[in-house]
Structures are given as structure tokens and as C-alpha cells.
Amino acid sequence: MPGWGVAQRALWITAAAGIALDQSTKAVAAELVEGHQPSHLLGGLVTFTAYRNSGAAGSFAPRATLVFTLLAICVLAFIARKAPEIRSTGWAVGLGLVFAGAGGNLADRLFRTPGFGRGAVLDFIQVGHGGIFNLSDQCVTAGVVVVMVQLVRGVPLSSPAPASRT
């Protein structure tokens, strides 16, 4: 972490915490939820039920697992490439959350069944009668909201390069 500014630390701490929390909850869900009857909490408002999703949100394009794997790798590479330029904590947290979400679901696609690069994401939380999701999905959603707030506020992603003196 030498040479990292506040924004870079915020980005990578947010990303690492998000991935760790996502993977931990998926490990618990794989043991306690998958293969069991759904558990209903708060009068049925929240349901824990396991669903292996090979597509995108809402099971969109279930046969495009490889496409989503490559897309996640591109998102992670883009954020990692831009990280040194980021000067805003808001942008850092937003992109850290997107990185956590893409990284958490990428880990599933790489290491869960049916095999490397073709794995299905483990979704296990349902609110009301909505779709089933996981914490990676929520990280992406929250990260995009934070990024949109930065855009609306006019906060630049990075500071302009200092003008050269001639």
C-alpha cells in the first residue's frame, strides 16, 4: 500500500471487504440453504432459497455464462487500470463496490460447478416476490448508485494532470 492515496485505499478496502462478505455468505448459504426448504423471515418478506444462476440478473441469457465471465474480467481490469488516477473517495467507494460485485460473481463463475469459467452464481436472498440475488448483486447496484451520484454532482473521476510549464 505504499504510495497509495486515501482514494486508492478506500477502493481496495471496499473491494476486498465486499468480496470477502459475499463469498462468506455464499459459503454459508451453500451449506445451510442449498438443498433445503426455503426459510421465510419477517413474515415472509425475506426468503432464503438457493438458486444456481448461470445467466445475468433475473436469469437473463442463461447460456451466456462465458460472456458474463469475460465481461466481469473486463470490468475488473478497467477498474484496476483506473484506480491510480482516482482522487475522489466517492468514486473510490462506488468503483470498489462494483469491483466487489463483479469479483464475487466472477469467483462463482470460475470455481463453482459445472466447471471452470462455466460455473453458476449462487443466489439465495429473495425480498417479497422479487428476484433472487446475492451480496455481489447488491454491491454492483450500490456501486452504480454511488457512481451515478458522483456523476450528477459533477465530481471528476480523477484530477486533471498538472499543466506543464514551458
Residues known to be catalytic? 123, 137
Residues 121, 105 contacting (CB under 8 angstroms)? yes
Residues 101, 17 contacting (CB under 8 angstroms)? no
DSSP characters over 69-137:
HHHHHHHHHHHHHHGGGB--HHHHHHHHHHHHHHHHHHHHHHHSTT-TTTPPEEEEEEETTS-EE-HHH
Distances (CA, A) of 163 to 37, 65, 84, 166: 63, 45, 19, 9
User: How far is Cα 9 from Cα 62, in angstroms, rounded to an integer?
Assistant: 36
